[in-house]
Amino acid sequence: MTDTTKKRVFSGVQPTGNFHIGNYLGATKNWVADQHNYDNVFCIVDLHAITLPQDPAELYRKSREVALIYLACGLDLEHCAIFIQSHIPAHSELTWLLNCITPLGWLERMTQYKDKSAKQDSIGTGLIDYPVLMASDILLYDTDYVPVGADQKQHIELTRDVAQRFNHLYGDTFVIPQGTFPEAGARIMGLDVPTMKMSKSSDKGGHALNLLDPPKVLKKSIMRATTDSLNNIAFDLENQPGVTNLLTIYQTITGQDEESIINQFSGQGYGTLKKQVAEAVISTLEPVQKRYHEMADDPSYIDQLLKDGAERVRPIAENRLRVVQERLGLRK
């Protein structure tokens, strides 16, 4: 994580709900696969989590759980720094500074804000400001690439707009980051309602495949997944969203192309497809779960790791913040 000849990658996950296979296939799996090529910073974004109400004890526990899941998925501390967002105050501070140059209209247009605020009786100011905090996360580390799922596209665009606006007003300060999205797996859908994104906040059985679900539960959820009555194996998002989602999960896990998957399953029933998907999911997640449970036995290990992670990234964030403060006339 100190190799400055490599381009920098930054990404994050909120410590809320259950870390599911959409988070893994859309984001973390790709971080792991590419980690050797980049200088990586991975964050657990607890300040983003509190833009909606959270139970404090649960938030604390989940923050550490996500860090362990990162490691269990295969992130290697030789190549990555892992830390908790709130441990580096520069994130909050840069957010304030960027708030002052971000037009409110840009934030009001964000679809995630519109969706989330529609579900709440009253909302905190943090919810509309969420994308500015995300921009601060990314811009503090001179990030080149941000590997995320498709739902973050609009937030990355906003980050670029904010960076460009600042650079235009105050002189070249920020690297303009690029979002990177996987070809397959950028948007895994709910197994129960395959027209809706798999979501961490749903507690309904049979909706998500959680990374820490026992094999039996994973299998049950997949076997119950909503399909259709066409009895046809095809990647057809519009007419067969359930079958397409199962095929996509299979494709992303096995790395096969669409054609070979269609050849493999054509003429077979949905029961066979589901069984094969369940086997692929379980054999991918079993070693991840084993590593997770081994590490979870030692809480002091995770606290030390997060402390080390914060120490490694702190100088990068503080340097960038100092330059911003100078540009704005807050210090010399």
Q: Which residues pair with 147 in a beta bridge?
A: 180
Name the E strands within 85-190.
Answer: 145-147, 178-180
Please give the structure tokens belonging to residue 142. Answer: 């001179």
- CB under 5 to 8 A by kind: which of ligand TRP, ligand AMP, none does 138 bind? ligand TRP
**Is residue 177 at the binding interface for ligand AMP, with CB under 6 A as the rule?**
no
d(CA 287, CA 297): 16
- CB under 5 to 8 A by kind: which of ligand TRP, ligand AMP, none does 146 bind? ligand TRP
**Is residue 194 at the binding interface for ligand AMP, with CB under 6 A as the rule?**
no
Nearer to ligand AMP among residue 1 and residue 186 (C-beta): 186
Q: Is residue 49 within 8 Å of 15, Cβ to Cβ?
A: yes
Query: Which one is catalytic: 6, 7, 153, 197?
Result: 197
Pairing mode of beta strands 80-84, 39-44: parallel
**Is residue 47 at the binding interface for ligand AMP, with CB under 6 A as the rule?**
no
What string of DSSP letters covers 28-96?
IHHHHHHGGGSEEEEEE-HHHHTTS---HHHHHHHHHHHHHHHHHHT--TTTEEEEEGGGSTHHHHHHH
The residues in 195-234 that bind ligand TRP, with binding defined as CB under 6 A, are none
* Shortest distance in whole angstroms from residue 325 CB to ligand AMP: 29
Show the site string, 127-166: x = touches ligand AMP by CB under 6 A, - = not: ---------------------xx-xx--------------
Say whether 62 is catalytic.
Answer: no
Say whether 200 is catalytic.
Answer: yes
Measured between alpha carbons, how far apart are the two ends of the chain, in Å?
30
Say whether 153 is catalytic.
Answer: no
Please give the structure tokens belonging to residue 264. Answer: 């493999």
Per CB under 6 A, the list member of 1, 27, 50, 134 interacting with ligand AMP is 27
Q: Which residues bind ligand AMP (CB under 6 A)?
A: 13-14, 22-23, 26-27, 148-149, 151-152, 186-188, 197-198, 200
Q: Which residues are catalytic?
A: 116, 197, 200
